Amino acid sequence: MRFPQAWASIAKQNSVLRIAVVGVSISGALALIISLRFAFKDPMIIERGCYAKVVAKTSYQEPTKEEFEGFIREALSQRFDSDINLASDYIAIEELRNRDTEQEELRRRNIRQKIIVNSVVKKDDSFFIDSDRVLSVGSLRSAFQFSLVLQLERQARTQGNPYGLVLLKVSGQNQEEGKKNERK
C-alpha cells in the first residue's frame, strides 16, 4: 500500500470516528437532559378508592371540607353512639373518659343512644354541629335536637387516623348561639 492511500484511509477513519463521537455525545447529552427533567419532576400521587384520582401534591396537605365533615361524623359516632366499636385515634383522652362515664350511666338505665349529624358549620377554630340525638329504651325511641360545639386538633396522618384530626372537646351550644349561627 502506498503512503497516499494509507493516509487517505486513516483520514477517512478519522472523519467517521469524529461523526460517531459527535453522535454519541449528542445522544448522551440528550439522555442526561431527559433524565434530569424526570428526576426533578414532582411525583404523581394517586388516591385509591372507589374511583382513583390524581391528588395535587402540597407540602402540607390541609384537610378539605369533606374530610372535616367525614371526620366529624365518624368522631361524633365514636363519642356518643352506644353500639359501636371504639377507635381511640379520633378522640382525645379527656373526651374518652367523658364517653366512658356517660355510657356507663346509659347502660345502668338500659338506654342506648345514636347521633345523627345534620349540618356542620365552621367558624374560626370551632365547629358548630346541628344534630339529632336518638335515645331508645327497649322499642321506644325518641329524637331530640342536639346542638354541639367541637374543637379539633391537627396531627400527623396515620393508618389509624387518615384524617389527621383529633376531637379535643365537645360542648353543648346555647339555643341563642345556635339561632345566631343559623341566621349567618
Q: Please list the pLDDT of the chain residue by residue as tens digits (184 residues).
A: 688 888 888 999 999 999 999 999 999 999 999 999 999 988 777 766 666 555 555 445 778 888 889 889 998 998 999 888 776 688 888 988 999 999 999 999 999 999 999 999 988 888 999 999 999 998 899 999 999 999 998 887 777 788 888 889 998 865 444 444 444 4
Contact 138, 116 (CB under 8 A): no
Contact 97, 105 (CB under 8 A): no
Q: How far apart are CA 13 and CA 146, in angstroms?
A: 91
Beta bridge partners of 119: 130
With b meaning 16 or more CB within 10 Å and e meaning fewer, what string describes 84-98? eeeeebbbbeebeee
Angle among Cα 130, 135, 139 to the nearest 5 degrees reads 140
What pLDDT is attached to residue 155?
Answer: 84
What pLDDT is attached to residue 177?
Answer: 46
Please give the CATH topology (third level) of the domain spanning 62-183: Nuclear Transport Factor 2; Chain: A, (3.10.450)
As given in the structure block, the three cell numbers for residue 93 are 383522652
Q: How far apart are CA 131 and CA 117, in angstroms?
A: 4
**Exposed, middle or buried: residue 46 (CB in 10 Å: 0-12, 13-18, 19+)?**
exposed
What pLDDT is attached to residue 52?
Answer: 57
What pLDDT is attached to residue 83?
Answer: 85
What pLDDT is attached to residue 180?
Answer: 47
Per-residue pLDDT tens digits for 87-130? 668 888 898 899 999 999 999 999 999 999 999 998 888 899 99
As given in the structure block, the three cell numbers for residue 27 are 445522544
Amino acid sitting at position 65: K
